[in-house]
Structure 1
Amino acid sequence: METEATRTGVLAFRHARVLPCTGADPLDDATVVVEDGVIKDVVAGVSRVRADDTVDCRGRTLMPGLIDAHVHVCSLDVEVGREQRDYPTSLLAYAIGRVIGQTLDQGYTTVRDAGGADWGMKEAVDRGLISGPRMFVSGRPLSQTGGHGDSRSRAQDSVGCLCGAHLGMVDNIADGVDGVRRAVREQLRRGADAIKVMASGGVASPTDKLESLQYTDAELAAAVEEAAHAGTYVLAHAYSAEAIRVAVEAGVRSIEHGNFLDEPTAALMAERGTFLVPTFVAYEKLHEHGRALGFAPEKLAKLDDVLGAGLDGLQRAHDAGVRIASGSDLLGPLAVHKTRELAIKAKVLGAAETLVATTRTNAELLGISAEVGTIEPGKRADLLVVDGDPLADITVLQDLDKLSAIVKAGVFHKRALRRS
């Protein structure tokens, strides 16, 4: 739970190196004033404002809270679905609540769950029943029969009976235009903020190939239309350039992963304004730990194909002017490595652009850029105080001890700094 409530008073962060993540240069020895949970002023130099609480940030960086646009808080195991089989619903709910809290502990004040989390989980955070970031959920992802979201082995004939827990990455098979429309409407009815579709093969699915195209143009267009009717959008899991192209032409808002993006498709994404959400750390950590954690051998073989391809795709996206966001996609115990994603992206984008991708651009993707993502007057006070300078060494964000303060909507979730 949040440890200190200051939302109704005036809070001043003084002597900070302010990294606004707007694309502008940092401000040194600056003061940021927060009132009623909202940033009221950003002043170069010492502000004389009277404050109920003052934080001395000397030698530290003040920056926006991080945003992760691709998490799976319900995936407690690297083998997706194993938790539904082995956990009763009650235990699964408690375990998921702990994962959600640990996400905020890592400095992520907003996340988009890209499959599994439901309305109840975000509502639990909003009501203060559990500690966690602001959440946007996409419910159960849509998959065609035999697609990336179909967890059945080749030996199984029928779709699962849901005999185990009903939380998390439960299969949601939808075929044909009418079937897709019905499935989208059902997820919207259940409180999904956006709709996730599986538009290509994937690493973690047992029977498809990475390069396979999944869903027809008409099926994808139907999903986009139904989401648009409800005032929201579709995010599409897609690896191959062809799968990305089909999804972009159907009108999806974001491409998840996109490792095999080519130059013509990157140009199309830039033209349409489609976001790219790379998720490199998932492959790195699965490669390092997957075998020991029981990740199936046939999936590890597919992992090898995507592991080295992503940075080239990211470079093509960057060169084409694609709007680059940021996700992690980590499963189970690997979720502790979320901020490692930033250091990987920085190999192509550099530290400054990576931090913008993880704050401002992610906020734009989620449609909340008027509220969060940068340090500017009028924005919600989702803030991090970091020991050190992430522009000089972005890996400082991987060390939780270096996060001196985590503030969500003007309330301290963590505070290792004394009042001044």
Structure 2
Amino acid sequence: MGPAHVVGATVIDGSGRDPGNLDITIENGRITQLGASSAHGERLDAGGLTMTPGLIDAHVHLGVSSPIQPHFSFQISAAEIAADIFATAGATLDAGFTTVRDTGGIDGGVVTAIAKGKVRGPRVLSCGPVQCQIGGHGYYGAEWEPTELWSSHHIPGLCALSMMAGNADELRHNVREAFRRGASFLKLCVTGGVVGAHDRLTDTQFTVEEIAVAVQEAAARNTYVTVHAHNNEGIRNAIEAGVRCVEHGTSLDESTAALMAAREVALVPTFAVVEQVLHDTAGAGLAESTRDRAKGVREQMTKALAVAKHAGVRIGLGSDLIGPAQDRRGRELSLRAALETPMEALVAATRTNAEILGLSGQVGVITPGAQADLVLWNGNPLEDPELFSDPTNAVLVIQAGEIVKDLR
């Protein structure tokens, strides 16, 4: 798309400021001007629509787009797994998400295929395979299966859910391997999880000394570590080791939240996946026992969100959707809007997530110099945040100045 002017929309710029009526000028994939412009270019009439920045999901699993148990027990071909991954990537764009942070599951080949435009999808920052301790959260091999066979479940260049480490040296080897495969940050599992068979939510995993090895390796590459963590002991271990972000944070208490705020550690709560596991366990390809593990998590996470807000923690937004049903990613914003305000949910999914991803000012805001990632919504999601839940409400999606979805 050449120079263009999007005119007539109500603009919510991602900063938290009240909406305004602004024309947006786009050139060379970036926003160049706000307000009326006399420059030449295509005129795109957006009267009656609401514009937001392209949404950002800070916790996705593109590589876990097939039914989970069949996927990890060799019942689905590589071709079908690839088809499912690419379908999820396209559906993510269609839901209004132009940038995502993949927190485990895809290998670098998928990131490259999307970046080259061979597959429709958002801009992807990926940790590659999740780093786990032997038998910890992220391991989905059968109980009889020796740990060393787990890596044979990887499909190089396509999907690699997790790598197992038995000590700090093995973890160092694994994170270097993740970076070799194109990871741009690291993710470790430091507690048990909801979707797991070998552990409990109350378990802690990896020692402070082990987590610190990953932090050291990330710092050497000018990047950071985020951790999957549900309980306070695991979160505190991770903070002591120097991580920059916590995913889920389900049982977060006041003293741990205060520590997170003091150390400038961000939190990414994940409500949509809890709803998914409770209401569509089989649809995700999970055993019914998973539902029992999820009971009470929503209530705890709701309390944790309030505790984190009160402590002044930077709070992003992530859906954590898994399995084939990842087309309604915006549900996370609708759920958060009911717990906070619609504006707070939108800012979390735009400006705050951009800060957490290290892309502050580049994406997640409508301002001169930023990437022209824009979504035009049918209606005003600040007045009706349920609009975010239905991808058909994202009438027009622009990514880096190119129209990638148009339902006008």
TM-score range, shorter chain: over 0.9
- Is residue 2:230 matched to residue 1:239? yes
Cα distance in 1, alignment partners of residues 284 and 110 from structure 2: 26
- Aligned with 1:11 (options 4, 12, 15): 4
Matches within 5 A, 1:95-244: 95-160=84-149, 162-163=151-152, 166=155, 167-244=158-235
Cα distance in 1, alignment partners of residues 68 and 175 from structure 2: 25
* 73-82 or 403-412: bigger deviation: 73-82
In the TM superposition, residue 87 of structure 1 has moved relative to its aligned partner by 2.3
Question: 1:256 corresponds to which residue?
Answer: 247
Cα distance in 2, alignment partners of residues 387 and 170 from structure 1: 37
Summarize the Cα distance change of 1:55–1:84 in structure 2 as closer, same or farther, 3 Å threshold. Answer: farther
In the TM superposition, residue 250 of structure 1 has moved relative to its aligned partner by 1.2
Question: 1:41 corresponds to which residue?
Answer: 33
Amino acid across the alignment from 1:264: S
Q: Contact 2:284 / 2:323 at 8 angstroms: preserved in 1?
A: no
Question: What do residues 111-159 of structure 1 show as CA deviations (whole Å, max 9, x unaligned)?
Answer: 0110011221111111111111000111111111121022234444443
Q: Any stretches of 5+ residues in structure 1 without a counterpart?
A: 1-5
Q: 2:213 is paired with a residue of what secondary structure? A: helix
Question: 1:54 corresponds to which residue?
Answer: 43
TM-score (norm 2): 0.95
Matches within 5 A, 1:280-291: 280-291=271-282
Question: What do residues 146-198 of structure 1 show as CA deviations (whole Å, max 9, x unaligned)?
Answer: 21022234444443255555243444111211111111111011110111100
* 346-355 or 233-242: bigger deviation: 346-355
In the TM superposition, residue 294 of structure 1 has moved relative to its aligned partner by 4.5
* 308-317 or 81-90: bigger deviation: 81-90
Cα distance in 1, alignment partners of residues 288 and 390 from structure 2: 32
Cα distance in 2, alignment partners of residues 370 and 31 from structure 1: 19
Cα distance in 2, alignment partners of residues 165 and 364 from structure 1: 31
- Aligned with 1:26 (options 2, 19, 26): 19
Q: Contact 2:104 / 2:161 at 8 angstroms: preserved in 1?
A: no
In the TM superposition, residue 80 of structure 1 has moved relative to its aligned partner by 5.3
Q: Any stretches of 5+ residues in structure 2 without a counterpart?
A: none
Matches within 5 A, 1:217-366: 217-291=208-282, 294-366=285-357
Cα distance in 2, alignment partners of residues 90 and 410 from structure 1: 31
Question: What do residues 72-112 of structure 1 show as CA deviations (whole Å, max 9, x unaligned)?
Answer: 01112453572561223233223312221111111110001
Q: 2:375 is paired with a residue of what secondary structure? A: strand
Cα distance in 2, alignment partners of residues 33 and 178 from structure 1: 52
Cα distance in 2, alignment partners of residues 405 and 292 from structure 1: 29
In the TM superposition, residue 265 of structure 1 has moved relative to its aligned partner by 0.7
Cα distance in 2, alignment partners of residues 336 and 125 from structure 1: 17
Cα distance in 2, alignment partners of residues 204 and 301 from structure 1: 10
Let me know the Cα RMSD of the aligned residues: 1.7
Summarize the Cα distance change of 1:273–1:179 in structure 2 as closer, same or farther, 3 Å threshold. Answer: same
Summarize the Cα distance change of 1:271–1:158 in structure 2 as closer, same or farther, 3 Å threshold. Answer: closer
Amino acid across the alignment from 1:351: P
- Is residue 2:50 matched to residue 1:90? no
Q: How many residues align?
A: 406
